[in-house]
Structure 1
Amino acid sequence: MSLRPALLAQLLSFDDEAFVALANRGLLRRAYKDLESNPPRLLEEGAEHLLLECGPYQLRFDPRGPAFAQCSCPASGVCQHILACALGLREILAEQGPPLAPGAEPEPAPDQRQALLNSLLTLPHAELLKHGGKPGYRWAWQFVMDLDLEQELHLGGEHNLTLTLGTPPLTLRYMGGPLGGMLADQRSGALEKYQVAAVLALRRMQGLELIAPVPLGGANAESSPTLREATRSRLRQGARQLLEESVAVGLAHLSQAMQQRYVTLAVWAQGADYPRLALSLRRLADQVQLLLERAAGADGQRLFDELSRCYALLQALTSAAQRGEEPARLLGQARSQYTPSTALELWGLGANAWRSASGYQGLSLVFWSPAQQVFLSCTEARPELQRGFNPLLRYRNPGPWSGLLSPGHASGRRLSLMGAQVNGDGRLSVAESVQAAVLEPLTAAQWQQLPAAADWSALLLARSAQRRSLLTPARPMNDWALLQPAAVGTVQFDSTRQILVWPLHDHQGATLWVELRYSAYTRHAIGRIEQVAGEPWIEGSQLVARVYEHAGRLIAEPLSLIRADAAPGQPLLDALHFDLAPATATPLAAVDEALDSPVQEVLLPSCHLLPEFAGWLCQQAERGVDPQVASGVDQALQQRGLTLRAAGYSAFERMAPEAGVPARLIIAHYLCLQYQHLQAAGGDIPAS
């Protein structure tokens, strides 16, 4: 591509937010004023550069775009003249194209966003390695492998390509040109590794293989057990010492040297086959870097929370090593592994289409395994940029396994899978080698074998028992449940939040709220629920739903309805997101208004002592523990611990009195987080 088209393609992708990321909002305002009073003038055009004049200064643009433009003014970096010339040059170059309306901004070509995506996907591996360096590429590769694409990668942008990745989020904008021209919404001294990570994340999103970095030398998982444990012991001791030193110095006073120590320990932990510890240390390194840069995403509270969880993980790993154990839930996994199964019987519970904030859309099927007595799922997902995939139409098309006419044929039926593969999170692989045989529809007797929840308080206690410790990994399939309400209330649609709300009552009068946010994917389900709520509720009917906690109460997201009054020849399972209403459905006017009397909600407990104590601990950690004030902090910590123990929080009796004050602050904060986690989950506070 010649100089003019290459520059014009980039300039058309620059909107105001991109120019702000290139410089700042104040310089952009000055640039617009300069553009009105003294528009730039093209002086010279060469094969590889354009020379422009803006007032008394001359500027040079090349095919790399505005991020690499040079100005003769004394300002360092990107100045207002570069912005003014970029805005003016866009109009100059666009004059050869279609005429623009007065005051209108030229629009990029319809396929410009796809062209930007293809440009990043086709970058050679050698260029990524050169841009980030070997350490930067190694960090970026591991960062992307640990990334939850559905939760921590957001793809967007209208005129350009924006990627928001990680926690805390960092937004990168790409308008074309070399990778170094990718801009970040926050100033970062290590931008190159994030630019490489953005490209690798896009490739992983597209299902492309990522080239692993060259492994580091030294002890790793293949070393002898004695040498590996010696290495891990030194690692745990070094990490624990760094965490305590961070609190002693003060989280608000950390240095770049300490941030580099976190990075080094994270690489060491990865080599010692401690993936979960490596991920925690990388998060701490990123948080410290944000604090050093005074970035908008910096948060001392979040840093102290992550530091406390990392300290507890180190303690748990040390205790397990002393017992000669290596529990997988503490070590973690670098990547999810699927376990093959010869034969697996599944009961289809329905499906739903969805779209994530990260730009993914997909279709998820939910099953019950009668042999394992657990919920399993199978998901097909694609980026929205990938054409030809519609999750709503996918429900009626063949697959996802050989022998299955469509996902719709699995709902309400028994399936037999040969060669199925299941990972630890209860997700089924969609490998083509899996063979599916559709058996007869499920009978009423078989549906009654599923464990149903009819008491919302018992459901809350069961959920809290599943994850009582902060160190217990989350199991998404444990959120699914079969609900059997005694009665239902009137369905309503909250127009402010765009959410359907439907109360379910148990025999004790407690309420569990069904909520479903409106979208193109849930529109059919919302209409079906309004029809179901308009019918008299039949005792014994059940609802398949995902149950979670939000704003202090339990919420259920419905998937399917199991009808207790299904007519002969009609299926018992009503897939709310796809099935049509049965012919026996009654109009909405048949709602029983008596069910809308005030009832008791299942609310989650709260306490003001823990947040106050956690806030005080965070203040001390940010301030630091100077040796001259350590005794005073220790006395205050003991006094506050006595107050909490008197209130029933007896775990504060075991705060390791032999440890130093920084370590005790960390332990106390972790106990606060653990208690708050138990209370939020509705669990009983342990007595000891």
Structure 2
Amino acid sequence: MDVPSDALTNFRALARQLDDDALVALGNRGLLKRALKALAKARPEIVGYAGETLLLTAFGYEVHLTMDPAAARCSCPSTKTCQHILGAWLSLRAESEEPEGSAEAEEAGDADQDASNHPDEPPGPEEDPLKALISLPEEELRAWGGTKLLRQALREQSMGAVAKLDEHRPGRVLLALSSHEVRWLSGQPWQAALCSCHAKEPCIHRMLAILEVQRQRGGRVRPATSIDAQPRGETVRSREELVPAVREAVLAITERGLSRLSRAQAARIDALATSAHGVDLPRLERELQGLAGQFLALLAREAHADSESAALQLARILALTEALASGRAGLVGLHKGHFVRAGNLELIGLGARHLSTRSGFVGIVCYFWDLKSKSFCSWSDVRDKSLSDFSPEAIFHAPGPWQGCQSPASACVSRFRLQGAWKSSAGRLSGRQSTRYQGTGKSDWSQVSAFDDWQQLKQDLCESFLESLRESDEFAQLVLLRPSDWCEQGFDEVQQEWRATLLDSEERKLPMIVPGNDTHNLAISRLATMPTAPSALLGFLRLEERGYSLLPISCLLGEQIHSLTLPAAPGLTSRRAQPKLAAAVLAHSPPIEQGASALAETCSTFLQALVDHCERGTRAPMQVEALASGHSLEAAGLTLLRRPLQALQDAEGNASSRAHALLHGLHLAQRARSALLIRS
């Protein structure tokens, strides 16, 4: 039976869009490998065309292909997409890529010429298939996937779930949370999208991808989460009651002053955090838990207690409650313990670090690079340090956390595949035993996005340092650097920190600072004894009043990956006594020549004056120096401080109104200082 030339052209054009990733989404990687192996021995043949179906014989079976790849059928016993169907598509793709001059190419060229005379032909693969999604009404989406699926997608989108549209490969949408890829093919109905979750029916990934395309391309507004929205599960109190209660508690504490804290106030904040969990406000819950911890540290006179951090957290909570009350989208947040299926992940180990928090928790955090989503992710095991039987070093070298994994230490220096992985919205991997680990070789840092230009580094990451109400991304300042060399290494006995200056290809300088404490003493010992500069460094980029600096986590020296704060073998301690450390390092380096501008220093002075006033309480008179420095900033062009300054002056005698103006000024002054430090 003859095949119409225009039909054959359409099938070959469709086959050209089905690359290996699309075929894996139709079947799986194992089926694709078997199809490629069978294709090397025999090639499927086209035997006919009937009812818009292309008939082929592939490896002894009859395959029926349609313009919807997921609807293809085969005469073999399999009821799903099989290797014979994949082999048929591979054969058509190979025919469409035949070199010019061959008989197949001439036949395809004639078919293309004939097809150009048909105005009803589907659009070619060069057209963007996402255009058809922009104007889809919600009624059509509801009829396709159901009301429950649409509501679930809208909820995830309102809480900050995002997708990345591939501008270089039209029709592809990568979901950041689950790492699933959804693909639309040119000339196909929008309902025939391919998803890497292999679901044939409408799934949450397809629905969320459509909503994100409409938001990013069509200007659709991200759905707001109103304060009176119905929360999930049982509630301690309603959201309408909780948010004003938090606001009232924060203003009362500010009015009284941080110097007059009591355990009753810390207990009240902790109770409000529990209530926030009950009404499903995880972002507010974490802020309140952090504030309660700050209060307990201040009451216990602990060394790490910081009045400035507590005051800024009070200001942030007040701003968050006002934003929630106005229905701001994306500020409700997600529970960090909420994991979703991420399918199979290809990961590259980047090392690990010893974690010790101010709230009394210790553990390890392992970092990886996701080859599919081109982003960082992590796995951690953190517990209360009061547990005598828990050792982060022992966990680092113990079997796990996934089935088939020798230890976290081995995963951090390997390239591997996780089958059946689970992942949270923050990029954290679950350590559940149902996930299978399959090592595929050594870790190759050359496949990880890295910076070798410090100027470009600061430009790309400056936005992540600006204070905002949106919950910070723990990977926002995580970077991989490739320095050309380093210099000025040494230990500063005054500041009790080890320093080195990293140089890029243009010999621009970036300080690397490692604090001298129990957590980082092993890192200092290792860095101080390295004969040459590491070829790559993984670490957190910090922004302080002295300027930018890097806090290293791991490094690549030769072909070996060093997790700087963790022992290389079990049984070794990761801590060193400070006297031994001081004897092992070089002479201290000169101060960092990266000071903030005069305007940033004035802003820091103003911020400190507001913190001092927050310690005394708003019932005490405002210091003249604070108003003077604030007016200096306003005169220099920082008009955003005009409103809180005016409110502080107008509210003289009204402690509650002054508390609101003070916290408002703290929040804005912190944002202004961050912006000035970035530009300095």
State the TM-score, normalized to the length of structure 1: 0.49
State the TM-score, normalized to the length of structure 2: 0.50
